[in-house]
Chain A
């Protein structure tokens, strides 16, 4: 549904987005990760046709965004950064406005508004003016606007920014739910969201894609992935170091596999050693790897890397 080909955006001499290519199909939820200023918002603005790219092309549903902007925009629902909306309008007025611009009228419009109001829990504030709403409600009002025409493509810039934990949870569930039938791209710098909602994640840094894969694949890039953490009475680092590099934690040991291909055997070997020496196991688990470690490792400038 979304096809991005070698996208470049320069501001003066600075290349904010520097040759990004990816595709998103229906049924996919793509998480767009990266540090602040990595080019996430700029990329999304180019997908939605707000900014023309300096080089490269974006097509949505087969329509080139630069050549047939209106056709492409019809397919897209967009939640801009900071969820901007007209503060002097009521929630209802704002949604009606959005529905009309999306070409809905009469009964279809009423139905569409009812649907998104229910979806985004806006019932209680329908007649309030937007500037009197809390941040969470403002955010959901803007999200409702993006969903009003049941778009095939959904682009969201930090959809959970400024929400409380419960609201974050709801929005993530909503994204996952919607992702079954739509192509979704959303940006975030909260890594747990990748697990909670994405089928795939892209990490960008300084305008370039530095990692692209399923959350599992990204996690496997972590140094920690495949390590076994063991907490057992009697266990010693000397013995365990036969299996791999050992790190002493607070009352526990973490054993790293000698090489990643032997990840699966490591747990087995640890169990065998425990049995052999008759250690009393209090806890043991395999590490899946941590996304934020991967994220830090690949997005920190080389000089800061330890």
Chain B
């Protein structure tokens, strides 16, 4: 546990000592602002909710989260620090979990900095704040699932661009499996049971429940298992590299 904490600390320090973190934070906040208020027509809706804010998250994260995750292992491998890290008395799973947690915390910080949206909606009306909290929780888990996927693709290559593209594609699949236009298309030839199964793999299906203010254990289990699976795969991939 101490090792995990040491690595988390190092990763976070390294995020905030580089300009990447600040560039990311600014872009994230600008984009959430743009999507919520302009593209999401927050004011025209005439309702006191953050639906226009959360609704965009699966798409916004699709680009931004892989940008955070792509360097996690690719960078360690390229610079040779992977060798340093894994010859320390640290179990590989500790390093994997620590690096994941650190970047998840970082995204958590970015998400927390959107708090003016909550203030705005509370000033303008009487929103259901429970629903907003559930939305934030869902959004955080959604980011975690994407991040774990990015972590996995980052371990596959020492090229960050390749890692980025791979994780965007995989995350896009996680969205599209439950995206209404796609499921509507499927209804023409597949039976509903198949569609439901495919849709169950989608982050959108599970994220929607959070947006509606429902914190369902099944949705939490879904996100946690995506994270667990991707991190486990990361471990296998890293072990594979070492075995040569």
Contact B14 A80 (CB under 8 A): no
Query: Contacting A101 at CB < 8 Å: which of B3, B18, B79?
Result: B3
Query: Contacting A84 at CB < 8 Å: which of B3, B6, B81, B91?
Result: B81
Chain B residues whose C-beta falls within 8 Å of the C-beta of A76 in the assembled complex: 87
What CA separation (Å) do A73 and B86 show in the bound complex? 9
A86 within 8 A of B: yes
A45/B89 contact (C-beta < 8 A), A51-B244, A86-B10 known:
no
A86/B87 contact (C-beta < 8 A), A51-B243, A52-B243, A101-B6 known:
no
Contact B242 A50 (CB under 8 A): yes
Give chain B interface residues in 206-244, CB to chain A under 8 Å. 242-244
Interface size class of A (residues with CB under 8 A): 20 to 34
Report A81-117 CB contacts with B as 1/0, cut-off 8 Å. 1101111110001000110111100000000000000
A45/B83 contact (C-beta < 8 A), A51-B244, A74-B89, A86-B10 known:
yes
A207 within 8 A of B: no
Query: Contacting B83 at CB < 8 Å: which of A50, A52, A73, A100?
Result: A50
Report B1-37 CB contacts with A as 1/0, cut-off 8 Å. 0110011001001100110000000000000000000
A186 within 8 A of B: no
Chain B residues whose C-beta falls within 8 Å of the C-beta of A9 in the assembled complex: 244
Contact A73 B80 (CB under 8 A): no
Give chain B interface residues in 38-90, CB to chain A under 8 Å. 79-81, 83-84, 86-90
What CA separation (Å) do A145 and B84 show in the bound complex? 10
Chain B residues whose C-beta falls within 8 Å of the C-beta of A78 in the assembled complex: 84, 87
For the residues of B in contact with A, the DSSP-based class is helix
Which residue of A10, A49, A85, A100 has the most chain B CB atoms within 10 A of its CB atom? A100
Q: For the complex formed, measure the closest distance between the CB of A49 and the CB atoms of chain B, giving whole angstroms.
A: 6
Q: For the complex formed, measure the closest distance between the CB of A234 and the CB atoms of chain B, giving whole angstroms.
A: 62
Give chain A interface residues in 38-94, CB to chain B under 8 Å. 45, 48-52, 70, 73-74, 76, 78, 80-82, 84-89, 93
Chain B residues whose C-beta falls within 8 Å of the C-beta of A45 in the assembled complex: 83
Nearest CB in chain A to that of B81: its residue:
A84
Contact A51 B242 (CB under 8 A): yes
Contact B243 A70 (CB under 8 A): no
Contact A50 B87 (CB under 8 A): yes
Contact B10 A97 (CB under 8 A): yes
Contact A101 B88 (CB under 8 A): yes
Nearest CB in chain B to that of A48: its residue:
B87
For the residues of A in contact with B, the DSSP-based class is mixed
Chain A residues whose C-beta falls within 8 Å of the C-beta of B88 in the assembled complex: 73, 98, 101-102
A70/B10 contact (C-beta < 8 A), A50-B242, A51-B242, A88-B17 known:
no
Query: Contacting A85 at CB < 8 Å: which of B13, B81, B90, B91?
Result: B81
Contact B83 A70 (CB under 8 A): no
What CA separation (Å) do A42 and B163 show in the bound complex? 27
Q: For the complex formed, measure the closest distance between the CB of B194 and the CB atoms of chain A, giving whole angstroms.
A: 42
A80/B79 contact (C-beta < 8 A), A52-B243, A86-B10, A88-B14 known:
no
Query: Contacting B79 at CB < 8 Å: which of A70, A81, A84, A97?
Result: A84
Chain B residues whose C-beta falls within 8 Å of the C-beta of A74 in the assembled complex: 89
Chain A residues whose C-beta falls within 8 Å of the C-beta of B79 in the assembled complex: 84, 86-87
What CA separation (Å) do A129 and B19 show in the bound complex? 14
A80/B87 contact (C-beta < 8 A), A51-B242, A88-B18, A93-B13 known:
yes
What CA separation (Å) do A93 and B14 show in the bound complex? 10
Q: For the complex formed, measure the closest distance between the CB of A31 and the CB atoms of chain B, giving whole angstroms.
A: 21
Q: For the complex formed, measure the closest distance between the CB of B114 and the CB atoms of chain A, giving whole angstroms.
A: 27
Chain A residues whose C-beta falls within 8 Å of the C-beta of B6 in the assembled complex: 97, 100-101
Excluding A51-B242, A52-B243, 19 further A-B contacts by CB distance (< 8 Å) are A11-B244, A49-B86, A49-B87, A50-B87, A70-B89, A73-B89, A80-B84, A81-B80, A84-B83, A86-B14, A87-B79, A88-B17, A88-B18, A89-B13, A89-B14, A97-B10, A102-B89, A103-B2, A129-B17
Q: What are the 3 closest A-B residue pairs judged by CB atoms, nearest first?
A: A84-B80, A100-B6, A48-B87
A-B contact pairs, 23 of them (CB 8 A): A9-B244, A45-B83, A49-B86, A50-B86, A50-B87, A70-B91, A73-B89, A76-B87, A78-B87, A80-B80, A81-B80, A81-B83, A82-B80, A84-B81, A85-B84, A86-B79, A88-B14, A89-B10, A89-B13, A100-B6, A101-B3, A101-B6, A145-B84
